[in-house]
Structure 1
Amino acid sequence: MSARVVHFELPYDDGERAQKFYSEAFGWSLMPMPEMEYTVVTTGPVTQDGRPTEPGYVNGGLLPRPAAAPGTVVVVDVDDIDATLVAVERAGGSTVAGRRAVGDMGFTAYVEDSEGNVVGLWQTAAG
C-alpha cells in the first residue's frame, strides 16, 4: 500500500463563488463536472490524463458541503479500500461513507480517524 496523500477536497457552500476564488486567488485550473456535483482542481502542470508532471504537489477537487465531510479532506491512495476500511475500524476509526465507484477511474470512501478528522480513501481501478 502506498498510503500517500494523492488528492485534496475542499467543500463549498456556493460552487460558483468557490471556483472564482480559487481560480483568481491561486490561478488554479478548474474543470466543473456538474453530473457529479464536483469540480476537478489542477494546481500545476499535468499530463494528458491529468497526472502531475512535477513532484511535490497534488491536485484536488471542490464539492458541495457536506458531501462527505464539513471541512478540508486529504485523500490517501490505498491498494484495497475494503481492507483499509477494516483496518481503520480496528485502529479506532469509523467509516463515514463506504466504497463508491467514481466512473471507471476507481473507488472512493471516507473514514473518520481517532481524532474526528475525515480522511478520503482512493483505490485506482484495475486495468
Structure 2
Amino acid sequence: MDKVVHFEVPFDDAERAHGFYREAFGWQLNPMPGMPYTLATTTPTDENGRPSEAGGINGGMFAREDRINVPVITIGVEDMDASLAQIEKLGGKVEVGREPVGDMGFSAYFRDTEGNLIGLWQNA
C-alpha cells in the first residue's frame, strides 16, 4: 500500500506564509539552498531528517504557479513510471511528468478522476 509521505502548500508571499505557519502551528521552515523551495518540518525527525513519529509527515512550501496552485498531498511510490501508467489507465491525467529533484528522488503530479491535484514521490 502506497502512503501519503509529504504535503506541499503554495504561497503568494513567502515571508507572510512562513510567518503564518510558523506562528499558527509552530512549524520549522527552512529554505533549501539553491532551490525555490522551503522545507516544512511539522513533526520530530530522525538523524536522516525523516519523521520519527508513526504517521507523521513533513512537507514543503513554494511560490504558487500556474500548474501547481493549490495544496497537494504527495504519495510515495516504488516505481514512478508504473504508477503514472496505472493512473492514466484508471482515468487520471498526468499534469507534470517525472522530474528529478536534485539527487533525492523524482516527483510528478496528476489529477485524479475527481479533478484533485495529487503529487507522487519516488526515492532515488
Aligning the two structures, in what range does the TM-score lie when normalised by the shorter sequence? over 0.9
User: Which portions of structure 1, spanning 4 or more consecutive aligned residues, are displaced by more than 3 angstroms?
Assistant: none
User: For residue 85 of structure 1, what is the aligned residue in structure 2?
Assistant: 84
Does structure 2 conserve the Cα–Cα contact (< 8 Å) formed by 1:31 and 1:39? Answer: yes
User: For residue 29 of structure 1, what is the aligned residue in structure 2?
Assistant: 28
Query: Deviations along 1:37-93, whole A, 9 cap, x unmatched?
Result: 110000011012210111122100001112642211000000111111111111101
Extract unaligned runs of 5+ from structure 2.
Answer: none
Q: Please report the TM-score for the alignment, with normalisation by the length of structure 1.
A: 0.93
Equivalent AA in structure 2 for residue 70 of structure 1: N
Alpha-carbon RMSD across the aligned residues, in angstroms, is: 1.2
Paired residue total: 124
In 2, Cα distance between equivalents of 1:18 and 1:48: 27
User: For residue 60 of structure 1, what is the aligned residue in structure 2?
Assistant: 59
Residues 81 and 57 (structure 1), Cα distance of their counterparts in 2 relative to 1, 3 Å cut: same
Percent identity among equivalent residues? 52
Does structure 2 conserve the Cα–Cα contact (< 8 Å) formed by 1:94 and 1:112? Answer: yes
In 1, Cα distance between equivalents of 2:36 and 2:56: 24
